[in-house]
Amino acid sequence: MGIDIYVSDTEIDQSFTGIGLPHVCLEDDMTDLIWKHRDIFKENIKIFLELEPYDDMALSNKQIKELKLFAKDLLKEEKISLIEKDFRKFNMNRDTYIEFATKLVELCQLALDTNKILVSEGD
């Protein structure tokens, strides 16, 4: 159920390969970890839950801002300390988790700065 999230000018790119383009891959283990701890992200998780694991979705400017807030929430130390006990269960470590969230914040900011959209592309 991996989801690729990438910057696009105006539409979903059916030929997206991820090579050389700014993107983030939301792997199954990361999705499962976040889902397990969804209650601690309650104020910002709505946009994450809206991402389609088996379809494509173009995110509006408003949704990109919401996704950026969610990604920043993932990086809060108090939230990390609550979920890090489960990192091993989900085949990751603290660095992988932080790298994902940081890249997601940066990707959202890039889309906002360049007036582009984000596309989430499910399997």
Q: Considering the domain 3-9+22-121 in this protein, what is its CATH number?
A: 3.40.1760
- Give the containing element (helix H, strand E) for 11: none
Neighbouring-strand partners of residue 4 = 25, 121
Whether 21 has a pLDDT exceeding 80, the answer reads no
Whether 18 has a pLDDT exceeding 60, the answer reads no
Tens-digit pLDDT profile for residues 33-42: 999 999 999 8
What is the Cα Rg of the chain in Å? Answer: 14
Q: How many CB atoms lie within 10 A of CB 63?
A: 19
Tell me the one-letter amino acid at 64: I
- Domain regions of the chain by residue span: 3-9+22-121
pLDDT at residue 43, rounded to an integer:
81
Q: pTM of the entire structure?
A: 0.90
